[in-house]
Amino acid sequence: MTVSYSWLNSFFKRPLPQPEKLAEILTMHSFENESVEKKKNDWVLNIDVLPDRGGDCFSHLGIARECAAILNLKMIFPLIRIKEGNQKIKDFLKVEVRDKNCQRYSARIISNVKVGPSPKAIQDKLVNCGLNPINNVVDAANYVMLELGQPLHAFDYDKIKGKKIIVRKAKPNESIVLLNDNECVLDKRIMVIADENRALAIAGIKGGKAAEISEKTKTVVLESASFEPKAIGQTARKLNLRTDASARFEHNLDPNLTETALDRLSQLILEWAKGEVVSGMIDVYPVKTKPGKIKLEMSLLNKILGIAIPQNETVNILSRLGIRVLSKAKDSFVLEIPTFRQDLIIQENVIEEVGRIHGYDKVPSTLPFIKTYPVERSKADLFVNKARGVLKELGFAEVYNYSFLGDKEKDKYKLKMEEIQNPTSSFSKYLRPSLIPLLAKNVEENLKWFDKVKIFETGKVFFGQDKKIGEKTMLSGGVSLKQDKEKAFLRLKGEISFLLEQLGVKKIVFEKEDNDSLEVFVNGEKTGKIVRIGQGFYFELDFDVLIKHASEEKEYEKISYHPPAIRDISGIVSERISLEDLKERIREGGRGLVRGLEVFDVYQGPGIGKGRKSVSFHIIFQSEEKTLDAETIDKTQKEIIKVLSEQLGWEERK
C-alpha cells in the first residue's frame, strides 16, 4: 500500500520519526517497507501489508494505529460533524437488499452540490497515493477510502430509475458499461447495485456509467456498504477486474465502519462541493458485528514468546492496540477485541500481537532443549531401495504414475475398485488396486518410439477392508520387445528370480496358472504373479509379503581348494512336485557334498505320461577336505537318487 508520510503525521500532535526511520520501525514490528520515495513536498512509503491485516491496515488510519501502538503515541482522529437539512431521506430513496452477501448497506443523500475540481492539496495527496483526481465528489470518496479504508461510491440521484436501489444478483447475460467504458457481461452469481431497470454498479468492485457523477449532477446518493469477502474475490477473479475497492472488500472489512466513513464523506463534500445533507441515513444492517471475546493466559504467552512479560506491560500493549481488558484473574485476562481487528480469533493471535509490539529483537537468543533419538531403521524402506537398485542394474527404468484409475481401466481389467467421492475427472474416479494398468499404458506408449521397454514402479495400492480403505505396497514391472516376445518372458522370469535372491528371499517357486500367467510363491506363500497383457509381460509382487521373507543375512562359505566334479541326473516325477522340493531332497541326499545345483531342462508331453514331468539337473560336487574320487561321487549320486525315489517318487531316466 502507498502511504503519505505527511498524511500519517496529521493523526498525531508530535511528529513521527523521519521517513526512513519510520519505515525501519514498521518493518521490525508490523510490515516490511519496500521503498521510501520523495514526491513533491511529501514522502511516500510503499508498505507491504500482510493479507490478514488488509481489513484494518489498507488505510492511513490503520497504519497510523500501528505507529501509535509501536511508538506509544496518542492519536488525533478527524472531527466529523455534519449539519442535516429539513428534507427526509425516506422521501427521496428506498433501499432493498436481496443478496445475503451484502452484510450492510448504508446510504445518504446530498442535494444542491456543485461538481467541480477538488482542492489542489487534495489532488496532490491522491496523486502521491496513486489515484487520479476526477472531481470533488469522486475525489472525496477516494480520499475517505485512503483515509479510513472504506470504499465508497456516489450515484447521480436523478439517473436512478424508480428512486430505488436494489442489491441483487445479476440477471443471466445482463451487461453493464463501467466507468472506464468497458462493457461486462454478467451472470447470476455476480452481485450488482441496481435501480428498478438496470445494474448501476458491480457490487464492491466498480461503478457503471448509467448513474455516473458529472458536472450537471445536482443531487448525489452516497453508498457505504460491507460485502462478503469471498463473493467479491470470486467476482473480481471471474471478471479479471481487480480494483482498489475489491482489494479492500476481499480482506474482511469491519461492517461497523460504513457509517463513520459515510459521515466523513458527507462532511468533505459539504466542504468542497457545498450542498445540503438530507436528514437521516438509510442503514440496512440485519446481523450486527459485535466485538469478540478472547481469554488470554499469561503462562501460555510467556511460554510461546520465551520471555516473561510483566502483566502491567501486557495490559499497556493491549490498550495501545485498542484491545480492552474486561476482567482479570491471577494468570489470565478476558479481552474485548475491537471489530476492526477481525484477524484476532484465538489467544495465540493476541500473543503474536503482544510479542511484535514488545519487540522480537528483545527476545534473547537461546538454544532450545531438544531430546534426540536415533532414527529407527525402516526394514520396508531398506528393501524397497535395494529392489530399486537391483532392477536398475537389470536395465529397468523407474516410472511414477498417479494413484487413480478411470472407467476405461475398470472395464478393461475387470477390477474391483474403491470410488473417490469428489474425483477431479472421469479419468481419476477410483483408487488403484494394481500398478499394472498404468504400467501397461506406459509400455504401449513407449513402444511407439523404442524397440525395447523395461520399466518398474513401487507404490501403494488400495482395497476395501471392513468398510474402510486398506493399502499395501506393491512392486510391479513390465517388459516388452517388438521381436522375440517369448524370449522376453523367459528373461523376465529369470530377472525376478535374481531380484528375489538379492533380497535374501529363498524357496522361490513359479507355478503355471494358465497359458498367459504364472503365480509366484515364496516359502509356500503366494507373493505375486507374471501375466501377459497385449504386447508385454508384467509382474506384480506384494512387497509387504516379500519383506517377511527377505533377509540381509549372508552366510560365509569358505572357498574350497579342491576341484569340483559335475554330474547330470534326469528323472520323471509328478507335475505337482515343485523344483524347490526336488532341490531340497538332492541337497539332503548329497550330505554336504553338493556345492551347486542347476535345472537345465523341464519337459512335459508325449512319452512322459499325463500329469508327470521330466526334470534334469546339473549337480556340482565338491569337498572342503579332499579331492573327490569317482567312487565317492558315484556313491553320493546313488544316495541322492534313492532319497528322491523314496520321498518324491522319482523315476530315473537312462
Higher pLDDT, residue 366 or 122: 122
- The owner of cell 440496512 is 284
Q: Each residue of 407-465: pLDDT tens digit?
A: 899 888 888 888 888 888 888 899 999 999 999 999 989 988 888 899 999 999 998 87
Q: Each residue of 314-330: pLDDT tens digit?
A: 999 999 999 999 999 88
**What was the pLDDT predicted at 506?**
80
- One of 3.60.140.10, 3.30.360.10, 2.40.50.1070, 3.30.930.10 is the CATH number of 379-549, namely 3.30.930.10
Confidence check: pLDDT of 332 > 70: yes
Neighbouring CB atoms inside 10 A of 628's CB total 17
Q: Each residue of 221-277: pLDDT tens digit?
A: 999 999 999 999 999 999 999 999 999 999 999 999 999 999 999 999 999 999 999
- If you classify domain 565-652 with CATH, what class do you get? alpha beta
- How many CA atoms lie less than 13 Å away from 108 in the CB half-sphere? 27
Residues of the chain with CATH 3.30.930.10: 379-549
d(CA 222, CA 154): 5
Calculate mean pLDDT across residues 138-146: 97
Residue 184's alpha-carbon distances to 203, 237, 632, 639, in angstroms, are: 13, 13, 100, 96
For residue 88, the SS3 value is: strand
**What was the pLDDT predicted at 140?**
97
Residues of the chain with CATH 3.30.56.10: 2-71, 293-360
Most confident of 69-78, 366-375, 380-389: 69-78
Give the residue ranges of DSSP H helices in 183-274. Answer: 229-239, 244-249, 257-273
Is CATH 3.50.40.10 the classification given to domain 84-284? yes
d(CA 345, CA 332): 17
Confidence check: pLDDT of 3 > 80: yes
Confidence check: pLDDT of 480 > 90: no
Residues of the chain with CATH 3.30.70.380: 565-652
Q: Each residue of 183-204: pLDDT tens digit?
A: 999 999 999 999 999 999 999 9
**What was the pLDDT predicted at 366?**
81
DSSP letter for each residue of 376-395: PP-HHHHHHHHHHHHHHHTT
**Parallel, antiparallel, or unpaired for β 525-533 and 517-522?**
antiparallel
Calculate mean pLDDT across residues 100-109: 97
Q: Among 116, 150, 149, which Cα is nearest to 133's?
A: 116
Q: Classify domain 293-360 by CATH number.
A: 3.30.56.10
Q: Each residue of 199-216: pLDDT tens digit?
A: 999 999 999 999 999 999
Q: What DSSP designation does 163 have? A: G
Can you point out the beta strands (E) in 543-607? 565-574, 594-603
In this prediction, residue 486 has a pLDDT band, given cuts at 50, 70 and 90, of low
Q: Classify domain 2-71 by CATH number.
A: 3.30.56.10
For residue 355, the SS3 value is: helix
Find the distance separating the first CA and the last CA of the chain, reported in whole Å: 97
- The structure's pTM equals 0.63
In this prediction, residue 551 has a pLDDT band, given cuts at 50, 70 and 90, of confident
In this prediction, residue 483 has a pLDDT band, given cuts at 50, 70 and 90, of low
